[in-house]
C-alpha cells in the first residue's frame, strides 16, 4: 500500500536499504545511474498524490515458457481480491506487453511516459467496485 506518512517512511527506508546494499554488495549487472533514472521516472509517472492509500504490487513477470497460460492473470487477480477486501485502489506501471492484461482486468491508464528509446511506462489504476470515484 502506498500513501501518506507510511508511504514516505517506506520510501525512505527502501532508498536507505538500496544504498546500503549497493555499497556492501554491489551488483555489477546493474547500471546504478540508469536504475536511479528509472526510479525517478517511475515516481514521476504515477500520480501518487491523487491516492492517499494505494496498493502498489511488486514487479510481475512470467517466464516466457509459461506465458499465455493465465499465470499472470491469476497473480494480478489475487492482488485485486486483497485490494477489494481493503477497499483500496491498485496502481502500477505496466510494460507494453502487460498493458492489455491490465486493461482486461479493469485497470485504467492514467499516464504514459517515455522511458528510453521506444520503451514507455504506462501508469495504470484499478479501483474496487465499492470505492466511489
pLDDT: which is higher, 64 or 57: 64
Residue 69 pLDDT > 70, yes or no?
Answer: yes
Residue 3 pLDDT > 60, yes or no?
Answer: no
Please tell me the predicted confidence (pLDDT) of residue 130: 58
Chain mean pLDDT for the chain: 81
Q: How confident is the model at residue 34 (pLDDT cuts 50, 70, 90)?
A: confident
CATH assignment of 5-126, among 3.90.1170.10, 3.40.630.30, 3.40.50.300, 3.30.70.20:
3.40.630.30
CA–CA gap between residue 114 and residue 93 (Å, rounded): 12
- Compute φ and ψ for 96, nearest 5 degrees: -60, -40
Please tell me the predicted confidence (pLDDT) of residue 74: 94
Across the beta sheet with 108-116, the strand order is: 90-94, 119-126, 108-116
Q: Which of 54, 108, 45, 101 is nearest to 75 (CA)?
A: 101
Please tell me the predicted confidence (pLDDT) of residue 6: 65
Is the whole-model pTM more than 0.85?
A: no
Question: CB within 8 A of 128, min separation 6: which ones?
Answer: 80, 83, 84, 87, 88, 89
Q: How confident is the model at residue 14 (pLDDT cuts 50, 70, 90)?
A: confident
Residue 66 pLDDT > 80, yes or no?
Answer: yes
Residue 102 pLDDT > 80, yes or no?
Answer: yes
CA–CA gap between residue 52 and residue 18 (Å, rounded): 25
Q: From the centroid of its chain, how far is CA 7?
A: 14
Q: Mean pLDDT, to the nearest integer, of 88-114?
A: 90
Residue 89 pLDDT > 80, yes or no?
Answer: yes
Alpha-carbon radius of gyration of the chain = 16
Please tell me the predicted confidence (pLDDT) of residue 132: 52
Q: Which of 116, 6, 93, 10 is nearest to 47 (CA)?
A: 93
Domain boundaries, the chain: 5-126
Q: Mean pLDDT, to the nearest integer, of 60-82?
A: 91
Amino acid at each position: 500500500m502506498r500513501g501518506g506518512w507510511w508511504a514516505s517512511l517506506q520510501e525512505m527506508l527502501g532508498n536507505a536499504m538500496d544504498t546500503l546494499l549497493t555499497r556492501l554488495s554491489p551488483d555489477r549487472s546493474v547500471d546504478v545511474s540508469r536504475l536511479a533514472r528509472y526510479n525517478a521516472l517511475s515516481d514521476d509517472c504515477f500520480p501518487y498524490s491523487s491516492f492517499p492509500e494505494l496498493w502498489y504490487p511488486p514487479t510481475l513477470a512470467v517466464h516466457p515458457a509459461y506465458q499465455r497460460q493465465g499465470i499472470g492473470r491469476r497473480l494480478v487477480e489475487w492482488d485485486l481480491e486483497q485490494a477489494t477486501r481493503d477497499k483500496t485502489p491498485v496502481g502500477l506501471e505496466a510494460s507494453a506487453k502487460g498493458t492489455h492484461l491490465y486493461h482486461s482486468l479493469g485497470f485504467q491508464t492514467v499516464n504514459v511516459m517515455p522511458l528510453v528509446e521506444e520503451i514507455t511506462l504506462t501508469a495504470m489504476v484499478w479501483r474496487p467496485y465499492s470505492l466511489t470515484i
